[in-house]
Amino acid sequence: MKSRHSGTNERMRDALACVAPGTPLRSGIDRVVRAQAGALLVLNDAPDVLSICSGGFLVDAPYSPQRLSELAKMDGAIIISTDGGRIARANVHLVPDPSVPTSETGTRHRTAERVARSLNVPVVSASEEMGVINVYAGGSKRQLQEVSHLLDRANQALQTLERYKVRLDDAILNLTTVEVEDVVTLRDVAAVVQRGEMVHRIADEIETMIIELGVEARLLRLQLDELYGEIDNELDLVVADYIPADRSTGETLEEMSRLSDDEVLNIRLAAATLFPNDENEDLGREVSPKGLRLLHRVSRLPQDTASAVADHFGGLARLQRATVDDLLLIECMDEPTARAIRETLTRVTESTILDQYS
């Protein structure tokens, strides 16, 4: 699936992938926690990181879980190379900018958050008493959970995704029906975009859990890929079908992703992302699709050709009435392609009508 995550959250995902179960780094951290020895790990050895290091000693040795657990017995921080392959320094005292805000109280976690925020590098801290492992990256924090607990959460999220996917499929089917009948309203389109965004957010959270689970998430990955399928492509086409010429699909979906979870539930706000100048627009107002989504169903039809067809007819209603000869008037069109378009549109219309009365 395509992520509309900000760069901040992508950096957290990269950090989680480094410490996921099955990785050498996670194996070393688990050894530290089992030994009830805390740790502070900076997963970057760039010059700006080394500039805030005081004391300690140079290690410059290949990374191994055993070596990490031994070095963690000392109180200082451990600096690991950016690629995770070497331990650069150990037992160092970190001196981050004290003016950087932090929500943590413990010395180790407070230092970890300040280093991550001020230098924009991933930092991992493990508490000595509680065995809590926190990952700091991109200005955010995530506490690692027990694999069994995280698997339960991911499976529950998959069940929720399945329910929301059914609602999205219903909204898309309804949109196809009203498009064929040429009675589309703004509410019909907004409902698809709204439910699509809900599905995307649930799937995005599952994606983060899968990354955090590492090798334990093979089955979850297969289930998510099967459930999510071509949703991103379908949403792109729905948005492209209705937005004004001065708007882009990416811009519209990005604006939708900036809505809070409560705001997404407001269908008027969903409609406003499609038509930003009409926040008080009547949701019952009729709108017309360009026909790009239905043209996408034509086998092996290039995107440029689909756009040329949509531009030529100026809307799905006129396109549906077009004959093969009408299609051949388009400069880039040949007869086999024209017939394929005509047959596909006829088949979609007939199957939609049959579904209505079945």
Residue 317 belongs to a domain with what CATH number? 1.10.150.20
Q: Is residue 285 part of a domain?
A: no
Structure-token pair, residue 301: 């039809």
Domain count for the chain: 3
**Full residue range of the structural domain in which residue 333 is found:** 292-346
pLDDT at 100: 94
Q: Is residue 284 part of a domain?
A: no
Q: Is residue 20 part of a domain?
A: yes
pLDDT, one tens digit per residue, over 109-128 is 999 999 999 999 999 999 98
Q: Are residues 135 and 170 in the same domain?
A: no
What's the mean pLDDT in 93-117?
Answer: 94
Last-in-domain residue among 105, 128, 144: 144
Q: Is residue 279 part of a domain?
A: no
Q: Is residue 68 part of a domain?
A: yes
Q: pLDDT category, 208, cuts 50, 70, 90?
A: very high
pLDDT at 353: 81
Portion of the chain with pLDDT greater than 90, in percent:
89
pLDDT at 7: 60
- Type of residue found at 234: E
* pLDDT greater than 90 at residue 6: no
| Strand, coil or helix: 86 | strand
* pLDDT greater than 60 at residue 255: yes
Tell me the average pLDDT of the chain.
94
- Type of residue found at 309: V
Q: Are residues 206 and 299 in the same domain?
A: no
Phi, psi of 92 (to 5 degrees): -90, 155
**Residue given tokens 């689909």 in the structure block:** 306
Burial (0-12, 13-18, 19+ Cβ within 10 Å), 69 = buried
Q: Are residues 171 and 257 in the same domain?
A: yes
Residue 314 C-beta-side C-alpha neighbours within 13 Å: 0
List, in order, residues 6 or more apart from 160 with CB less than 8 Å away.
202
Q: Are residues 185 and 257 in the same domain?
A: yes
d(CA 44, CA 135): 14
Q: pLDDT category, 277, cuts 50, 70, 90?
A: confident
Q: pLDDT category, 65, cuts 50, 70, 90?
A: very high
How many C-beta atoms lie closer than 10 Å to residue 5's C-beta? 15
Structure-token pair, residue 193: 């975009």
Q: Are residues 100 and 130 in the same domain?
A: yes
Q: Are residues 229 and 121 in the same domain?
A: no
d(CA 97, CA 87): 24
Q: Are residues 270 and 167 in the same domain?
A: yes
> What CATH number corresponds to the domain at position 107?
3.40.1700.10
DSSP one-letter string for 122-143: -EEEE-TTT--EEEEETTEEEE
pLDDT at 358: 63
Last-in-domain residue among 144, 164, 187: 144
Last-in-domain residue among 103, 120, 144: 144
Q: Are residues 98 and 158 in the same domain?
A: no
